[in-house]
Structure 1
Amino acid sequence: MKSGGTLPLETDKILAKCPRLRVLVVGKSGTGKSSLINHVFGIKQQVVSHQARGVCNIDDEITSPDNSRLILHDSMGFEPGQATNLQNAIAFLKARSAEHVAIQDQVHVVWLCIKIPHAGGRVLETGDEKFIESALHQKVPLIIVFTQFDKLKSLVEQELTDEEMDSDECDDIVTQRSATKFVEICLRPLERFDSVRYAQTSGKHRHIQLIRRGRLNLHGCRSGSFEIAGRSYARHGQKNVWYVTAVAQRTSARAKVDGSIKIGMQGYWLGLASTTKLFGSPLQTCLKTIHFEITASWNFNDPDELLTNGAFEQRLYSLIQFIVPEDKEIRSWFDNVDPFQTLMGIGTAITAAAAPALAAIGLSTMFIQWIGDIYKKTPEALRCLMAYMCDLTLIMDHLFLKTLNLPPPRRLTQEDIDSAVESYKNSSAATVHKEVRMYANQTTIAQIVRSNNAEEKVKELINLHCSK
C-alpha cells in the first residue's frame, strides 16, 4: 500500500505485528472446504499438489494473490482406524500455540468442517472429539462448521404430507423442522464441549454467520461461556488478530464496518475535535491519512490501486467540498447555488434530479486552495473531517455490497467504484451531511472540544446508514 504524504498509519502498526490471518481448515474431502474458503475470503483457491488427490500437508502455507491477508493450512479429516492425520493435526496445533510463538505464526482460528449426517449417522467421529479436546486444551479458537444444511432441509421437505406441502405455511414448517433436526443431530453431541462455537453453511448468507461466529471466538463470548480465546490472545495481541480477521474476510459488511470504526477509534477518530495528531498538520495530509486507514481496513481485491491512486480521493474531495464552507461562501463560488443546497444537506433530501449536479461540477479551485492551507480548530475543519470519515466508510459499504455477489476473486473495477459513489450520493449523502453540519454548528468549537464526542457522532451516522 502506497501511503506517502500521510501521518503514521495505525494499520501499518497492526499489520507489522500480525500481517495475515492464519486459519487451519480440517475436514474430509467432499465437505465443501474449498468453496467455503473461496467465498468467505473472496479468492479463487488453486492449490497445486504433487501428491494424490485428497492428500495434503498440514505444514504447507497456502496463500493467494487475491487476498494478501490470509494464510491457510489444510488438514485431512480423521478417518476411523487411521491415527496419523489426527496425530499430525494435534502436533501442529501444539507447535503453533506455544507461549514463545509470535502472534503472526500462531494458528488464529480452526474451522472443523463436518457434513451434516442425513441418515442417522454419527456427527462426530472419535478422532473429531479428540481433536476438539486438544484444540480447547491448547486454547486455540475453534469453530465447528456444519456443511450442507440445504440437504437437510431437502430431506425435511420430502417428509412433508400433501396437506403440509399445499399449506401457505410450508416454508415456515420446513424452516422450523430443519432447525429442530439440526439441534438434535448436530448440537446435542456438542453439549460436552461447553466452549465450542459452531456455524452451519448452505449458502452465502450462512457464510456470514461463520464470520460472526469467528469474531466471537477471537474477541470474546456470549453469556460468559467462552473465555479461552480471550485469555490466550490477551497476551499475544488479541486486538490485532480481531482486526486482521475483519480485514481478511470478504463476506460480512458489518464486520468490515466494525473493523473500519475500530481502527479509526484506535488512531485518529478518538478525540476528533481536539486531537493533536490531526490539528496542526495540513488538512490534505490528515484526509489522506484517513483515506488510507479506511480503505486498508476493507481489503478489496484492488491490484490496480483504484482506491488509492489519487483519483478516488479527488472524488471524495468533490463530495465533501459543499459541507465545509458556509452557504454564503459557496454563493461566491458559483452563480447559482440552489442546486447545491440540497447536495450540502442544507435543504431537503437529495433528489434524483439534483444528484447529477455534484458529479458534473468537479473539485472547485476555491476548495483546493482552502484544503491546502494549515487549518485551525474551527467548525469548518471539523465538518470536513467528519464528513470525509462518514462518506468514505459508507461508500466502501456500498462498494462491498455491489461486489459481494460477484464470483471470487472479485477484482475491483472503476465501474464498481463509480456505481458505489453514485449509489451513496443518491441515498444517504445529503442526510449525513445535514447531520454533520448540524452537529458542528450547534455550539462553539470550544464546547465541542471539551465534550470530545465528535467521534461518537461519526460512529452514530455510520451505524445508522450502513447496511444491516
Structure 2
Amino acid sequence: MERRKNMPDLKDQLHAVWLCIQIPRAGGRLLETGTEDFLKSKLEGTLGNVPVIVVLTKYDILVDRVERTLNEASLDGLSEKAIQELVKEGAETEVQNTCIGPLEEFTGSDIPHATISTAKGYKETLTGLIQKTETCVNLHLEPDAAVMTSVAQRVHPGLKIKALIKIGKQRYWNALMSCPTFKNNQMKDCLRVLHNDIVDVWNFRDPHKYLRSQQFRDLMMTMVDNIQAESTTTSMTFGSSMSGPIVSMLGALSGPAAPIVVPIAAVAVFVAQWVYEVYQISDVVLQRLMAYIMHLTLVLQTLFFVSKSRVLTRRAIKLAVKSYLASPIKEEVLTRIQDYVQGLAILAHADKDILDKIEEMMQFYEMDAAQVSELEAKIPDVDLLPDEPW
C-alpha cells in the first residue's frame, strides 16, 4: 500500500481501502488483532488521505438469522412486505449493536462502513458500497481519482453517467460547436472521438473490442441518420421505459436461439453521405453530435443490464440495440434535442449552454441504486451464447 500510494501516475496510486470483516454473531468479536493494528495505522495518519471503508460481509446470513428468530405470534396478520421490513429493522439493529458500536468505540470516530452480500437479491448492497467508495474518494482525493473509481467499477450505471459528464466537461463537450479537435475532419472522425471516450467510461468486458468495431460504429451512425422525430409531450424515466422492451426481448430468447435482427445489413451496404462531410457549424451537425452522445450512452446503459458483467458478445450488443430501438426513449431524446437546438439564438456562441443541456439530459436518464435493483430484478438471465455474426 505504501508503494502504490507513492506512485507518480494517478491511475496506479492507492485510491481507497476496503477492510472486509464478516458480520459476527451476537456476542462475537468484531475486530481481530491485525484489524485493530490496521485501523490504528489509519488513525495515526500512515495512509494519509486515502479513505478506508469497513465492509461488513455476508449480510444475507445475518438477515436469515434474524428472520428465523422472529416471534411467529407477532407476525400474525402482517403482510409479506411488513414482515420484510421487520426483518430489515432487526438486521440493522443487530449490525449497529455488534459492528458499528464496537467499531466507533475502538476508533473514536465515524469510519465509513457498508453492509454487503454477494448472494442473489442483494445486488443493491454492492451498489451502495460502490456509491460510498466514490463519495469518499471524491471527498479526500483529487477529483480525477473519483472519476477513475467510477470508470473501473461495473456495478453502478449511475456513476458511469456521472463520470461521463465529468470527462466531457474536462475535454471538448464544452466546445462542440467550436472544437479545434473536430475542425477540418470528416464527421465520421469526429464521431469516432466521441465514441471511444464514451465506450472507455463504461469499461465493459470486451476482449474482442466489439464496441469499437466498425459494424457497431455504423449502427450508431445509422441511429442518428434520421434526425426528424415525432413531437411528444410524454416524459419518462429510463427504468420504466426500458424494462418492458428488455424483458420482452429476453423472454423471446428463452426459446430457440433465433438470430437477433438489427439494421446492420443495410448499414454495410450504405452509409449516409453526411458521415463523410467535413465538420462545420450548423444546427443539423449539433443535433447529430448531441444525438450520438445520448444514443450511445443509453445503448450502453441498456447493455449494462443485458450483459450482467459477462464478457460481451455480438448477440448481447444487438439485443441491447434492439431493446433501445423498441423503447420510446430514442424518439424522446431526439425530440428534446430538436426542441433545444431550435431554441438557440446564436449557435456559434452556445458551447456552455450546449454542455449544460447534455448534462441535464444525461442526469434525467441516470439511475439510482434503488432503480438499478428494481430493473435488474425484472430482467431474466438469458444465455447469450453461442455468439452470432453482426
TM class by shorter chain equals 0.7 to 0.9
| 1:30-55 deviation per Cα after TM superposition (whole angstroms, max 9, x unaligned) | xxxxxxxxxxxxxxxxxxxxxxxxxx
Residue 18 of structure 2 is aligned with which of 93, 107, 111?
Answer: 111
**Counterparts of 1:130 and 1:432, CA distance in 2:** 53
Counterpart of 1:210 (choices 129, 137, 153) is: 129
* Corresponding position: 1:417 with 2:317: yes
Output aligned runs, 1:170-249, within 5 Å: 170-191=83-104, 192-194=107-109, 196-202=111-117, 203-220=122-139, 229-230=140-141, 238-249=142-153
Task: Map 1:5-84; keep pairs closer than 5 Å.
Answer: none
**Does 2:353 match 1:453?**
yes
TM-aligned CA distance change 1:213 to 1:193, over 3 Å: farther
| Structure 2 unpaired stretches of 5+ | 235-240, 246-259, 369-390
Deviation at 1:103, TM superposition (A): 3.4
Residue 212 of structure 1 and its aligned partner are, at CA, apart by 0.9
**What is the aligned counterpart of 1:121 among 28, 53, 60?**
28
Determine which structure has the larger helix proportion and give its number.
2
| Structure 1 segments unaligned to the other structure (5+ residues) | 1-92, 221-228, 231-237, 324-340
- Equivalences, count: 333
> Is the 8 Å Cα contact of residues 298 and 396 (structure 1) preserved in structure 2?
yes
Indicate yes or no: 2:5 matched with 1:97: yes
Instruction: Using CA pairs under 8 Å that are at least 6 residues apart, name the structure with larger relative contact order, 1 or 2.
Output: 2
Structure 1 residues 360 and 117, CA gap change in structure 2 (3 angstroms): closer
- Cα 1:398–1:183 change in 2 (3 A) is same
**Runs of 4+ with deviation above 4 angstroms:** 346-352, 363-367
Residue 293 of structure 1 corresponds to: 197
Indicate the residue corresponding to 2:67 in structure 1: 157
* Contact kept? 1:199, 1:209, Cα under 8 Å: yes
- What is the CA distance between 1:365 and its match in structure 2? 8.8
Instruction: Summarize deviations over 1:237-287 as a string: whole Å, max 9, x none.
Output: x33322222222111111222222222221121133333333443221110
The Cα of 1:195 is off from its aligned counterpart by 5.6
> What is the distance in 2 between the residues matched to 1:466 and 1:361?
32
Distance change (3 Å), C-alpha of 1:358 and 1:103: closer
Query: CA-atom RMSD, angstroms?
Result: 2.8
Q: Note closer, same or farther for the CA distance 1:348–1:218 as it changes in structure 2 (3 Å cut).
A: closer
- Structure 1 length-normalised TM: 0.65
Q: Are the aligned partners of 1:112 and 1:143 in contact in 2 as well (CA < 8 Å)?
A: yes
Does the Cα contact within 8 Å between 1:116 and 1:147 map onto a contact in 2?
yes
Q: Which residue of 1 aligns with 2:182?
A: 278
* Structure-2-length-normalised TM-score: 0.78
Kept after mapping to 1: 8 A contact 2:219/2:264: no
- Does the CA-based 8 Å contact 1:345-1:432 persist in structure 2? no
Alignment of 1:333-372 (within 5 A): 344-346=229-231, 359=263, 362-363=266-267, 368-372=272-276
Cα 1:348–1:209 shift into 2, 3 Å: closer
Larger radius of gyration: 1
Q: 1:209 to 1:284 in 2, by over 3 A?
A: same
Give the share of equivalent positions with the same residue, in percent. Answer: 30
